[in-house]
Structure 1
Amino acid sequence: MRIAGQDVPVVNGGLYDRFRSNPPLSVIAAETPEVDLSWFRQLKKERVDIGFESYSPNFYYKNSRVTAIFTADLDKLRELMPAKVLEQVQPLQVWPGRGLVALTAYSYRYCDNDSYEEIGLSVVTNKPGSASFGPFTLLRQSMSDDFWGYVLKLPVNTELARVRGVVGYNLPKWLTDIHFRETDSAVVVEIFDSATRQLDVTLETRKLGDLSSEESMVRNSFTNVDRQGQLTTGYSVSRQLSHASSSSADSVKLTLTDGSLSAYIKALKLGKLVKYEYVPLFQGALYAPKPL
Structure 2
Amino acid sequence: MKIGSIAVMAGVLMNTVSVFAWAEDPTEVKGAGNTMIDIAGHEVPVVAGGLYDRFRSNPPLSTIESEAPDVDLSWFKGLKKTKVDIGFESYSPNFYYKNNRITAVFTADLERLRELIPAEVLDKVQPLQVWPGRGLVAFTAYSYEYCDNDSYNEIALSIVTNKPGSSNLGPISLIGQSMSKDFWGYVLKLPVNTELARVRGAVGYNLPKWLTGINRRDNDKSVIFEIVDHDTGKVDVVFEGRKLTAPSNEVELVTNSFTNVGHDGALTYGYAVSRQLSHAASTSADSVNLTLNEGSLSGFMKSLKLGKLMKYEYVPQFQSALYAPEPLQSILATE
- TM-score tier by shorter-chain length is over 0.9
Q: Counterparts of 1:178 and 1:187 in 2: how far apart (Å)?
A: 13
Alignment match, 1:63: 99
Provide the aligned length of Structure 1 versus Structure 2: 292
Alignment match, 2:148: 112
- What is the 5 A alignment of 1:125-274? 125-274=161-310
Q: Counterparts of 1:85 and 1:182 in 2: how far apart (Å)?
A: 38
Matched residue SS, 1:67: strand
Alignment match, 2:325: 289
C-alpha displacement of 1:22: 0.2
Q: Counterparts of 2:146 and 2:182 in 1: how far apart (Å)?
A: 25
Identity rate, percent? 72
C-alpha displacement of 1:178: 0.2
4+ aligned runs moved over 4 Å, structure 1: none
Matched residue SS, 2:46: coil
Q: Counterparts of 1:194 and 1:56 in 2: how far apart (Å)?
A: 31
C-alpha displacement of 1:247: 0.3
> Residue by residue, what CA displacement relative to the aligned partner does 1:75-106 show, whole Å, maximum 9, x if unpaired?
00000110000000000000000000000000
C-alpha displacement of 1:277: 0.2
Q: Counterparts of 1:205 and 1:61 in 2: how far apart (Å)?
A: 22
> 2:134 pairs with 81, 92, 98, which one?
98
Q: Counterparts of 2:211 and 2:318 in 1: how far apart (Å)?
A: 24
CA RMSD after TM alignment = 0.4
Specify every segment of 5 or more residues in structure 1 that has no aligned partner in the other structure, as ranges: none
C-alpha displacement of 1:227: 1.3
C-alpha displacement of 1:272: 0.3
Q: Counterparts of 1:247 and 1:104 in 2: how far apart (Å)?
A: 15
Matched residue SS, 2:52: helix
Larger RCO, structures 1/2 (Cα 8 Å, 6+ apart): 2
C-alpha displacement of 1:162: 0.1
Q: TM-score, normalised by structure 1?
A: 1.00
C-alpha displacement of 1:7: 0.2
